[in-house]
Structure 1
């Protein structure tokens, strides 16, 4: 019997009430039945230190091992993130750095879908572009189309965190469909 596909979600914002956390959680409701979806937190992962990530190191920090183990179970990833200073938020980049090291790097060769929400007009386009060299290094398969760029997010979620922009909902459904197709390749 074939195992269910598993998508792991990562949110680039640690803020309570984050539009990107809402976006990621909502995207999870659009994942088809029979596909496992889990949002994996990384707020307890320490700043990357290569001294703790070498064959000579006794072991990686427990929070890093737990994070990497959760990622290793994924067939694909959805990353929802804000844009900080035209780029990737530091906490998310740090978590990716921990997950990108070693022959057992759990991100390598896996499909990934990006999306982002912002109160501004650009919809995280610069952050998503900043991820392309990271995906190249990790030999990941980024699902580039359709682009999910939720601008003016403060007007597009209801009080329960549901995305109310029907066009965005349709785009996210298509993005997830394309992500799952990339898992089958």
Structure 2
């Protein structure tokens, strides 16, 4: 059997974000796969724009990437006790694309944040947003990397054994659901 396709989505656009670092660790824990990174740098959702110009090509590309995936892992910071605007905007656009990209798609949500809760509230809101998109949420121990600035080394490698164990458990469950 061919390696599964894993799509990663970072709710932070910043190249050096802790969530991108966490996604790198998730890819390794998932095991052999074709890994594709979704681009969430999209225009703000605007119904007038959609009506005048249709759905932007970048949104269609992202939705098709998700549709073609065997599994999805989302890592996002928490901003002001909520979901990142980048991630919420992507969900809003994706919901407008015909074919329900997330429907039945095995999906795990994780987070890394500088704060002491590791993005727990933002993660909860992300999971809530995935419900109407009909993603197959893979439950398990919550992974919220708190004080993320202290949990990654200078190479962007997660160093906390507890977090690595939880991540391995989550990615094993996601891989099992994807095959």
TM-score when scaled to structure 2? Answer: 0.91
Q: How far apart in 2 are the matches of 1:4 and 1:16? A: 27
Contact 1:12 1:81 in 2 (8 A): yes
- Candidates 123, 127, 132, aligned match of 1:132: 127
Q: In structure 1, the residue corresponding to 2:19 is in which secondary structure?
A: helix
Segments of 5+ residues of structure 2 without an aligned counterpart are: none
Would you say 1:100 and 2:98 are equivalent positions? no
Counterpart in the other structure of 1:147? 142
State the shift of 1:144 in Å.
2.2
Segments of 5+ residues of structure 1 without an aligned counterpart are: none
Q: How far apart in 2 are the matches of 1:11 and 1:21? A: 6
- Candidates 53, 77, 80, aligned match of 1:82: 77
Q: In structure 1, the residue corresponding to 2:86 is in which secondary structure?
A: helix
Would you say 1:48 and 2:45 are equivalent positions? yes
Q: In structure 1, the residue corresponding to 2:78 is in which secondary structure?
A: coil
Contact 2:110 2:142 in 1 (8 A): yes
Deviations along 1:3-39, one digit per CA (max 9) or x if unpaired, are 4321100001112321111111221122212x22222
Contact 1:156 1:163 in 2 (8 A): yes
- Candidates 56, 59, 63, aligned match of 1:64: 59
Q: How far apart in 2 are the matches of 1:181 and 1:131? A: 22
Q: In structure 2, the residue corresponding to 1:30 is in which secondary structure?
A: helix
Would you say 1:160 and 2:155 are equivalent positions? yes
- Candidates 164, 170, 181, aligned match of 2:176: 181
Structure richer in helix, relative to its length: 2
Q: How far apart in 1 are the matches of 2:162 and 2:17? A: 21
Q: In structure 2, the residue corresponding to 1:131 is in which secondary structure?
A: helix
- Candidates 109, 129, 152, aligned match of 1:114: 109
Q: In structure 2, the residue corresponding to 1:119 is in which secondary structure?
A: coil
- Candidates 34, 37, 40, aligned match of 2:35: 37
